[in-house]
Chains A and B, each alone.
Chain A
Amino acid sequence: MIPITIDGREVEIEEGKTILDGARQLGIDIPTLCYLERCGPMTSCLVCVVKLRFNGRTSVVPSCGMKAVAGMVVESETPEVHDLRRSALELLLSDHVGDCLSPCVRICPLGLNIPQMLRQVQLGRPEEAAATVRAALALPAVLGRMCHRPCENGCRRTACDSAAAIREVERFVADTNQSRAEPYLAPRKPATGKRVAVVGAGPTGLAAAYELMRNGHACVVWDRAETPGGSLRREVEAGRLEPAVLEAEIRDLKRMGIEFRSGILVGRDIPMTSLLAEFDAVFLAAGEMTAADGEALGVTMTVAGVKIVRADAFLTSVERVFSAGSAVRPVKQLVKAMAEGQMAAEAIGEFLAGHDPRKAPKPFSSVMGRLEKPELHLFRAGASPEPRVTPKSGGGVGFDPSEAAHESARCLHCDCRAAGDCRLQHYSQVYGAEFGRFPRQRRAFEQHRHPGRVLFEPGKCILCGICVKIASESAEPLGLTFVGRGFEVRVAAPLDETFERGLQVVAAECAEACPTGAIEVAAPTDAFWGCSNHGHGCR
C-alpha cells in the first residue's frame, strides 16, 4: 500500500493505482471525461488535473494517469485547481458545436423539455409526453391555452417556414391527459417531513406548491378567495379561460396532496406568527400587496411590494419567509409568474434541506447560435416538410392526435440526444463553466449518418480517444483514427471511409462509452431519426 496525501487527508493506495483512484477512495469527485477504467488513462481531456507536490517540485498533472508514489502531496479541491479544470472545460466548450438544450427549452421560463415532448407526441406516446410536461408545469392545460409562448419565438424552424406549434401540442398533451379517467400526476419524492405554508393560490403560489410537493415537502395553500386560482379567476371571469380547465388543474393539485385553506386572509384571519409556528417556511405569493398588507404580515415593503433581502434566495426581511411573483413586483406574464414560484420553491427546498437557500442554477447548455443554411439543411432533413398545422376543429378544441403528431414531426430536434447524459455538460454545470468565455469563430455543425443507424457529430467530439482505442482493440476491419494535427485534429474512419464503416462491430459500445453526444446509435423508432428512414411525418 502506498500512502499519499490528498487535500490534507492521508490515503493508502494499492500499488500501481493512480492519484484518481486515491481521490475516489476518499470520495472526492475529480471530474473525468476521457478516462474509462477499461481503456486506461488517455490523458487527453486534462479535466482531471490536480496539483502535485513531490520531490521538491510542484506540477500540474492529470490524476488519471499519474501513478501514486509514496509521499506524494496532492491538491484537488482548491480554487486554483478548480480554475484549471474550469478552464479545460471552457476550452473544450469553445470548440463544441451543438446545443445541449434547444433554444425553445432555454427560453422556456419553466424549462419544459419541449423537443422531448414533441418526439413523444410524434411517436404516439401521450402518457410519456404527459410525464415530460408534468415534470415542469404545474398547470399544463392552462398554459397550453394562455402561455404567451416565448418558446415559439426561439424556434429554429422559423428560419425555414414557421415555428413548431409548441403551445398547441402542449395543450393537446395536457387535454389528452386530463381526458383519462385518472390523469397522470408527477411522482413525489419521499416525504421529507417538512411543511411549507404558501400564501396565495395564484400562478406563483401554485407553481411553488407544485414544486415543493414534487420534492416531498408538505404544502398548505392559503388564499383569501373561496376558490383557488388567484389572477386566473379573473381570466375565467373575463371568459378567456374555460372554468372547467382551471377546476381540473386544481383537482389534480389536490390529488397530489396539496391542501387548500380558502377564504382565509393571512394577517387578518390568522396571524403570521401562527404560520411561522406551525410551518418550517412561509412563501408569500399573494399577488400585488399594499403597504398595509405588508404591515399585517410583518414584512418590510418597498414601493413595488415585499422587500427581498437576497434576490437569489427570494428571502424577505423575516427569517423563514420567502416571497416572489407580483407580491414583490408586478409580473405580467403567466409563465414568468409561475417560473418565479418554481425558482422560489427550489430556494426554499435548499433551505429546508439545511443548505443556503439558493435557486437552482439554470441547466447548462452549449449554444450554437444562428445556423447557417447548410447546417439548417442537416436539421431539416429529419423533419416533416409540411407547413404548420392548424387544428381543423378550430381553436376551441385543439389538435386531434394525428394533427398533433404531424405538427410534432416538424420539430428540427436541434437539441442534443445526450443532454442529461453527457459528462461534459454535467461537469460544466458543476464547475460553472462559462460557455462563451473565448471569442472565436464557431466551426460548422456537421452530422454524419450514411445511411445506417450510427450517427456521428464531429463538432461534439472532444477527441478523448476512447472510441479510437475501443475500435483498435476489436475486430473492426477499418476502425477509427485521429486525422490531422494541431487544432484541426478530428476522429474519423481511415481512408476517407464513412464513420459507420469504421464502426461496423463496436458502434454501440463506442456510443455508450462516448463522454459526450458525439456518437449515437439510434433505435429504429427514435424520432431523432425522424423521417429520413421512414418517410416524413411517419411514426
Chain B
Amino acid sequence: MATAIGILILVIVTLLFHFLSPWQFTEIAADWGSIDFAVDLTFLVMGIVYVLLNGFLIWVVIKYRHRKGVKAHYEPESEKLEWWLTIITTVGVVAILAPGLWVWARVVEVPVDHEVVEVVGAQWHWSFRFPGEDGVLGQTAVREMSVDNPFGMKADDPAGRDDILVHNGEVHLRNDTNYKFLLRSKEVLHNFTVPQFRVKMDLVPGMVSYQWLKTTRTGRFEILCEEYCGMGHFAMRGSVVVDENAAFEEWLSGYPTYADILAEPEPDLAAGQAQYAVCSACHGANGEGNAALNAPNLAGQQDWYLERQINNFKHGIRGSASGDTFGAQMAPMAATLIDEAAVRNVVGYIASLPVSGSPATVSGDVERGEEIYGTCKSCHGADGNGIWSQNAPRLKGVNDWYLERQIQNYRQDVRGSHPQDLYGKQMSLVSGVLRDDQSVKDLVAYINTL
C-alpha cells in the first residue's frame, strides 16, 4: 500500500506542479502560436497517457499485492489485447505527429514577402547586417575578416556596398513584418535564440542556415546563444528590439553602410590633437594617466576600444549608473566630441602617443592571480594584449589601480548593467569568478607582470 501511495504522491505533485508552477512559456512575440499549439496539444495527449498509465500502475500495485493463498494468473500473452494496445498507441502518436509536421511545414517554408537580416555569431558576441536598398546581401569570406572588416565583406562585390553593418549586439526589427534571418558564424557553432520567438537555429561556420518569423509585438527581448561555443558561451548575449516602423527607420539610419565605412577618411591628427587638449587636463599630455585625478592612461590602448568607450560615455551607456562617480565625470567630457569624426580624430591622436610604462601600485598573490587569469585569457589573450575579434581590450600596461576599480565596478554592477552595454554585461557575468576583493588584487598583480 505504501508503495502505491508513494507513486500516487509523485503523480499528484507532478500535476500540481504542472498547473501551479510559475515557470511557463514566455509571452510570445512572433506569429508562432501554432508552435505553442503543438506543444499544448502534446501536453494534453501526453498528460492523459501519463495519468492513465500511472493510475493503472497504482491500481494494480494495490489490487494485486501479495495475499496469502492467492496465486498469480497464468496467461502468457493475449494477442487481442496487444493488438488493441498497438492500434491505440499508433492513433495517439499520429494525433501528435500529424499536427506537428503540419506546423513544421510552415516553419520550413519562408513566405515570399519577407525582409532579410543577417545574424553573425562570433566568440562571444552578435552582430547584424541589413541588405540595404538593393535588398541583396553582398558576399563575404572568412579570408577577408580583419579588425577593419569584421564582417569579412568582399570589397569587389557591388551588392555589398549598400549593406548596413550593425557591429553591435543589439538589433532592431520592424513590428508586424516577416523576417528571414540568415545565420552565419565566424568560427564555431552558435545558436540564435530569442525565447519569445520560439524558433531557434544553429549558426554553423562554413555555411549559412536560416529561420523565419513574423514579429507581432514591440519590446526588448534577450538574444541567447544556445549552442555551446566555448568558455564564454554563457556570456554571449544580445538584444532584439522590435519597433514600430518610424522608430525602426530612425535606428537603422544611425548605422553606416559598407560604402560609408570604406569612405571614412583617415583620422585628422591635428584636429584630434586640438580636441585632446580637453582630455590632457586629466589624462596627461601624453595620455600617461594621472592617479591623483583618477584618470587612467590611454596611450597604447586599442583605438576601437577607446572609440567604443567614448561613444558609451557620450550616450549615457557608461558613467550613468549610480555609484560610478568617476564615470560620471567623464560623461560631459566625452560630450565635447560632437560627432563620429571628432571621436575618431581624437582616438587617432591617442594612438600616435608614445607608450610609457605604468608603475605597479597594487600588490597581491601573483600565482593565484595567474590561475584566475586563466578565465580572462580566452578574450584578452595570454599576453594581455587584447584580441579584436573578441572585443577585448588590452590589459597589459593599463594602470593597475584603474583595472582594479573597473573590475570592482563590474562585480558591483556599477559598470555593465546598462541594457545597451552588452560587452560590459559580458564582463559583469564573467567577473563572477572573482570571489572577493583579494582575488581582484591578485589578478591585477598578475596582469602587472605581463
* A and B are partners in one complex rather than unrelated chains: no
B: residues with CB less than 8 A from A are none
